[in-house]
Amino acid sequence: MAGTAAALLAVTAPATASTAALYCGAGRGLTAEAAVQGAIDDARTSASADGKSQCELVGEPQIFEVFDDPNFGHIFRASVNMSCE
């Protein structure tokens, strides 16, 4: 058991030494592109509040098409993860 824990710590130590942090952003819009851009802006705004300005997308944006939004009817919602330093 102790060997497994030591191996896990050895694997995770370099990843935690990085100054990058993961931020999640969400957005909505009349088009998928607008929703994704809103999500990117949301994540960057959160990162900038922590003093981080260099951000890159991690993975692909998640896009959801909504047909029955109570306020807007047909819209898109998006979620992104960004690594920021």
2 domain residue, yes or no = no
Q: Which of 77, 31, 75, 40 is nearest to 59 (CA)?
A: 40
Phi, psi of 81 (to 5 degrees): -115, 135
Tell me, yes or no, whether 7 lies in a domain.
Answer: no
In a domain, 80, yes or no: yes
Query: Per-residue pLDDT tens for 13-44?
Result: 444 556 789 999 999 999 999 999 999 999 99
pLDDT averaged over every residue in the chain: 85
Assess if residue 4 is contained within a domain.
no
Q: How many domains is the chain built from?
A: 1
pLDDT over 90 percentage in the chain? 73
CB 82 within 8 A of CB 47: yes
For residue 30, what are the domain limits?
23-84
Residue 58 lies in a domain: yes
**CA–CA gap between residue 16 and residue 46 (Å, rounded):** 20
